[in-house]
Amino acid sequence: MSTASYRKIFGGAGLVLALLLALAGNALAGAGPHAPAPTLALSAVAASVQEVDLSWTVSASVSGIATYVVSRDGQALATLDATTLAYVDSSVQPSTQYRYAVEGLDAAGKAVLPAGNAKAKTPAEPDTPDTLAPSEPEDLAIVSTARGNLLDWQDSTDETNVTAYLISRDGKKLAIVNSATLSYLDASAKTGTTHRYTVEAIDVKGHHSRQASGQGRRQAAMQLPLAALFEAPPAAAAPAAAPTAAYAAQLTRYPYLTDVVSSYAAINWATDRSGTSGSVKWGLVAGDGSCNPSNSVSATRTALAINSVLEYQWKALLTLAAGTQYCYRVFLDSTDLLGTDAAPRFWTQVPAGSAQPFSFAVFGDWGATEPSGLTGDNPDQANLMSQIASSGVRFALTVGDNGYSSGSQENYGDLLQSGPSLSAIFGPQFWTVAGASIPLFPAIGNHGLARSDTNHPHLLNWPQDRAVVLSGGRYAKECCLAGTSTSYASAWYAFDAGNARFYVLQSAWADACTPSAYECDYNEHWAPSSAEYQWLENDLAAHPNGLKFAIYHYPLYSDQKSEAADTFLQGATGLDGLLNRYGVNLSFFGHAHIYQRNLAPNPITGAGSISYLTGGGGAKLQSIGENPCGPYDAYGIGWSNTSSQGNACGSAPAPSAITQVYHFLKVSVSGNVVTVAAIDELGNAFDVQTYDFGAAMPTSTPTSTPAPTSTPAPSSTPTPTQLSFSPSADVQVQDNKPSNNYGTLGTLELRNSPQKYNDYLKFAVTGLAGTIQSAKLRLYVVTAGTAGGSIYAVSNNYLNTSTPWTETGLNWNNAPALAGTPLQTLGAVTAGTWVEFDVTAAVQGNGTYSFGMNTTAPRGNVVYNSKEAAANQPALVIQLAPLVPTSTPTSTSTPTNTPTSPPLPTNTPTDIPTATNTPIPVPPIFSDDFESGNLAAWTSSAGLAVQSTTVHAGSFAARGNTTIGNTFAKKTLPASYANAYGRLYFYLGNYSSQVNLLRFKTAADGSIAYLFVDTSGHLALRNDVGLQTYSSFNTVFSGEWHKLELHAVITDLSDLTEVWLDGVKINALSVTDDFGSLGVGRFQIGEVQSGRTYDVVFDDAFFAIGAPVAIPTSTPTSTPLPTSTPTSTPTDTPLPTDTPTDTPLPTDTPLPTDTPLPTDTPTSVPISTPTSPPTNTPTSTLLPTNTPRPTNTPKPTKIH
């Protein structure tokens, strides 16, 4: 019997069932005129970074085996007796591929049959500690047949990756399967015996989830008729061809579009690390269809590892014209990455307020490989991506759960790698097919939400910079929400397309939250006092006209028993009530892997808008209506994986094939008339509905209509025009270095004491046609402060000249004066939020405008992103009064060749630190507290003097006070260490040059990496092998002792660093990069370079193997600790018997308390859980404060 026939009968479990039955000697699977050759089938599953599980089966016809010999990479590991069919290899290393073989030998040592072979690659160590177990496997079902007991379940989630599932029977281990395998046939179950089964998930670090359990009793007779077993499967359309290998070998993710809002677009792609410069060339599609991509814009890059393969993720931000078609090509250095492939084409967003018809796609719960987990493929999802690509939609949105099972970079994958749970989104047959021309706006779901990566995959892979800025939304990784100590992604924003506004919302939480994920989500996101609720209400009030669509994850209504309706979203005080009060027309959500259209108004509550549950995007499907179908369910379909049958609710017929359940929604908008068509993976439309949202409430339940009608659209209501301008220049100036220019920094810092830092921004405003209602300067806060600063309108010229100031020429001495009354002064600001300065009084029309900022808060420095930041750059947002109503789209200015957002310099990351408990180091290989009174413990030294005036502890410390540099001490270590940890205390005095502090070197004295304080007073990391500099905005204050720690892991496959300053992990400097292949053989403090001026004191130097261990302690430490559990804690190193304790810092020392922002994704970490949004969060930026709240929008009339 073919595997296709098994897939027809058993759905997603069919392939694994066919193979397992064949291995068990099932006559149906192996029947034929000749007996099959005897085989030994070997399976190897990398269950964690330290374990590979082997199991094998042997053809029933084989006899005479006395022993099995297990080998790895040609070397024997073990010899086992003939009754043992499994082996656990616990001597493996992370990020390593192994080749295994198992031979069956007779008593004389001769092979009885050919050896079984298998390969397994262990996962990489997570870039931040994995401390949590995976969630319990969902929806476990056990069906008993004559062929065995079939177990079927849904994915677990984890903060890093689920790697495997452990299946036990009657308390004993039965099997381990890989993470993409979501079913298992126990063909060895005894007929007539009831067995108890458990399934538990395993993650990268070997943590086990809670067990899902159930019982099964193998039956004595075949339940399915033989005719059904051999019935041919329905013909399925072949997936569309993915881009061929005509592209360059360096390209690892095909270019794809995000953030196509207003007149902007973001183009994203990934490459290997053979180049260091990325760019996009783009051009306008001419009337004759030709296109010459001759304009160029630079891209920013972020280092990432996919299945231990080191790559760069690239992003280019384009400023174009709305409603226009363009083509583009992507480059690595000078290499055209698309090779001979045609230049992709796309349309920028439909201009806001336009009556132009358009369509968009909605889908969700996708990014999964074949549920059997054996091939790394998923033809259903591939078919669906092909349908979306050819659907003609302008853009697409998802309702969340993008990448199974954990939303990891491995789940997202690339063009080159395939396998279980690998490359399920950016594989060549998946989003690659559609993404080059169709922009995507994904909502975030529970799968992947709580990931611990420094750069959260959702935020990094799907950047929406301009959409977030223009709507005042949030796109950040934040710690300690809802009373937890874990970092979660926050992602919500809005954008306009034609006469509609789209709300991409966050309604999701980590599965392990108690009392329930639904309740935790409500408390954090949808309680009326929450930040997202208040942002949404303000934005809805500011946009009373036009259509409104809401997109989120948790289901408002669902007839799936395991992913049931989220009752916390329902009711007047929940999300549903908020959407209804402001007349949102349609809601789209997912979570349950079914299709379900819900009535409006709801028969139970008498309220509610029309809603769609669309969870059939590619992940394993689920049944519908196992509990009674709800009265709100107008049309719903699902699929049972255990019975291989469709099921239905409402007026829907039960599907006859699994291909009828995988689907997306095509939503067509023409004026106020909206048509929603569900389209399955073969291109068949079903449950097509058309609504007229300009008419009165229908008097009867809408019924389906075969196609959209040609009802003319009414003229659109005029809406205000909103324009956003990026700064042409922004600069930080400092009174302690009055001649220095800091125009290329990625941040803008305000400081009043002990030094004064001011900031300047300049904007070129063009294309205004109308009355200015408001002008707001929007800045993203990366370090909180007690005062947000004051803003002034200043001269466009250098001080006392007629020469315009420039970004690379401005300094403290020549900066325009900050005089007169400030336009606005802000109070305390919160990290990870946007703030607004009202500069309406200064902006009179088209022209150039400059603004200066300062602060008078004592030592309460605040840091904002500059235009050089990778994301969330400053913006001047101007709101124009609506023009006279017209059905003609508003004109858009012609784009220029000059990008408005220059790429992020490689030495300016946008991170802030995560508060953690103080790490306690392991026993040292080398240490020196200088209490000997000399430097004899070091191999060599120069320029350092051991003194007793300034010390950290004890009586002595080493000082380097120089105007010529060359003050250092080196220690040659007894060996070279691939896992190295160094610690140092230092006291910084006066300095006018870079101050190098701690360095790791090879045994041959080659520099690997070092930590230093730059001339702006910020801590930074230099990778001397990869020639990369990573900077932070963590200020190192002079006149205080600081504790500095560096952990480096150097392997052939994946290298990383971790850095702590005063017990706080600095994620900007904790990076994955190429640090070479040689371990640390020398430990150095200070610097050998000459020509530098500084005064620095070193004490208590320390070197050991491995990372430190962080544990809570009541002993005072060098950093004030948050009350919550640490979120970034190095692990896996034994504690010493004598635990050192650090001397506390002075109580007036302000330390950052915010969580690291990834390179492209800002994050923030409040110390305590917020109960209301920050006071500086804008409540409305688009309308005057007297804008009335809307009354309920008339319900739609159904068009037949």
Q: Are residues 522 and 550 in the same domain?
A: yes
Specify if 1173 maps to a domain.
no
Establish if 568 belongs to a structural domain.
yes
Rounded to 5 degrees, φ, ψ at 841 are: -65, -20
Q: What's the pLDDT score for residue 701?
A: 34
Distances (CA, A) of 293 to 126, 246, 330, 336, 898: 40, 19, 10, 12, 14
Q: Nearest Cα to 789, choosing from 826, 758, 831, 757?
A: 826
Residue whose structure tokens are 């315009």: 804
Same domain, 176 and 269: no
- In this structure, is residue 736 part of a structural domain? yes
Please tell me the predicted confidence (pLDDT) of residue 1107. 59
Give domain status of residue 559, yes or no. yes
Does one domain contain both 611 and 740? no
For residues 586 and 368, the answer to whether their CB atoms sit within 8 Å is no
Please report whether residue 536 resides in a domain. Answer: yes
- Whether 671 and 530 map to the same domain: the answer is yes
Residue 904 domain-assigned (yes or no): no
Cα–Cα distance list, 194 to 57, 139, 149, 175, 220 (Å):
24, 20, 10, 18, 12
* 217, amino acid identity: R
Give me the residues paired with residue 331 across strands.
279, 336
Domain boundary among 1082, 1108, 1134: 1108
Task: Enter the pTM of the model.
Answer: 0.57
- Pair 631, 565: CB distance under 8 Å: no
Residue 672 and residue 553 share a domain: yes
Angle of helix 3-10 versus helix 14-23 axis, rounded to 10? 120
The pLDDT value recorded for residue 483 is 62
CATH code for the domain in which residue 79 is found: 2.60.40.10
Tell which of 214, 229, 244 closes a domain: 229
CATH code where residue 1017 lies: 2.60.120.200
CB contact at 8 A, 842 and 782: no
Confirm if 542 and 1182 have CB atoms less than 8 A apart: yes
User: Hey, is 619 helix, strand or coil?
Assistant: coil
- CATH classification of the domain holding 279: 2.60.40.380
Do 1005 and 865 share a domain, yes or no?
A: no
Spans of the chain below 50 pLDDT: 1-33, 222-243, 696-719, 884-921, 1109-1200
Is residue 699 in some structural domain? no
pLDDT computed for residue 228 by the predictor: 37
CA nearest neighbour of 1116 among 1147, 1072, 1158, 1076: 1147
Together in a domain, 338 and 363: no
Q: Evaluate whether residue 592 is within a structural domain.
A: yes
In this prediction, residue 329 carries a pLDDT of: 98
Which among 531, 310, 554, 326 has a CA at the least distance from the CA of 436?
A: 326
Q: Give kind and range of the element (H or E) at residue 957.
A: strand 957-962
Phi, psi dihedrals of residue 184, rounded to the nearest 5° = -155, 135
- Number of domains the chain is built from: 5
Residue numbers of the domain that contains 729: 721-880
Contacts of 896 (CB under 8 A, 6+ apart): 319
Burial of 889 (0-12, 13-18, 19+ CB in 10 A): middle
Confidence at residue 139, expressed as pLDDT on a 0 to 100 scale: 86
Rounded to whole angstroms, how far apart are CA atoms 1019 and 1013? 5
Do the Cβ atoms of 293 and 282 come closer than 8 Å? yes
Verify that 666 and 614 share a domain, yes or no: yes
867 CB-side CA count, 13 A: 25
CB 516 within 8 A of CB 456: no
Length of the chain: 1200
In this structure, the answer to whether residues 675 and 639 fall within a common structural domain is yes
**Judgement on whether residues 586 and 490 belong to the same structural domain of the protein:** yes
User: What DSSP element (H or E) covers 966?
Assistant: strand 965-977
Write down the H helix ranges in 1041-1153. none
Residues 872 and 942 in one domain: no
Do 549 and 652 fall within a single domain? yes
Contacts 24+ apart (CB under 8 A), 287-296: 291/326, 291/327, 291/343, 291/345, 293/327, 293/328, 293/329, 293/343, 295/895, 295/897, 296/897
Which of 1108, 1143, 1174 terminates a domain? The answer is 1108
pLDDT (0 to 100) of residue 236? 43
Domain of 826, CATH number, reads 2.60.120
- Reduce the DSSP state of residue 722 to 3 states and report it: strand
